[in-house]
């Protein structure tokens, strides 16, 4: 009986059942952050646009084994920023006056280079985490979704 209980506890703690967002340097694959997430949970990347130096916020959601890029919010047009609507990707003005571009695109992972002046930040679990606290400017960070065991989640010091 004791052996069955021990085996059951081991299975519980070692079976990958936890959905976790993992942030790794690319291409080295060194994990710099993980966050326990739930299906449908949203998170955001904020930064300053490289040309007009105005704030941009990109919102994403955990979906299955990847992410859905939901929308991009900004208050001024700039190089690479959407300027028109399409039926699939509307561009609207929000109640706060900011522009909101609906992306609605499923992706397996997201890779972002840590900017030197962009002040990239990850907003997850009520926290704001500067990209420069995770890696040196110029380093690529890869965001992905994994299933991990309770043991891996605790050992990886994941953000709760």
Per-residue pLDDT of 124-138, as tens digits, reads: 999 999 999 999 999
The whole model's pTM is what? Answer: 0.84
Q: Where are the strands (E) in the chain, listed by range?
A: 18-26, 31-36, 42-48, 55-63, 66-74, 91-93, 99-107, 109-113, 121-124, 127-130, 140-148
Torsion of CA 114, 19, 56, 47, to 10 degrees: -20
Question: Residue 56 corresponds to which tokens in the numbers above?
Answer: 């941009």
Say what percent of the chain tops pLDDT 90: 51
Name the residue with higher pLDDT: 100 or 2: 100
Domain boundaries, the chain: 2-155
């Amino acid at each position: 009986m004791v052996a069955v209980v021990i085996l059951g506890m081991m299975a519980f703690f070692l079976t990958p059942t936890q959905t976790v967002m993992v942030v790794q340097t690319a291409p080295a694959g060194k994990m710099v952050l993980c966050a326990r997430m739930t299906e449908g949970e949203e998170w955001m990347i904020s930064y300053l646009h490289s040309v007009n130096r105005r704030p941009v916020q990109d919102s994403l959601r955990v979906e299955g084994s990847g992410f859905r890029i939901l929308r991009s919010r900004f208050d001024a047009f700039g190089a690479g920023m959407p300027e028109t609507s399409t039926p699939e990707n509307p561009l609207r003005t929000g109640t706060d006056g900011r522009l909101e571009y609906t992306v609605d695109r499923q992706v397996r992972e997201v890779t972002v280079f840590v900017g030197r002046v962009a002040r990239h930040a990850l907003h997850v679990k009520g926290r704001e985490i500067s990209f420069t606290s995770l890696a040196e400017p110029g380093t690529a960070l890869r965001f992905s979704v994994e299933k991990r065991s309770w043991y891996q989640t605790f050992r990886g010091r994941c953000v709760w």
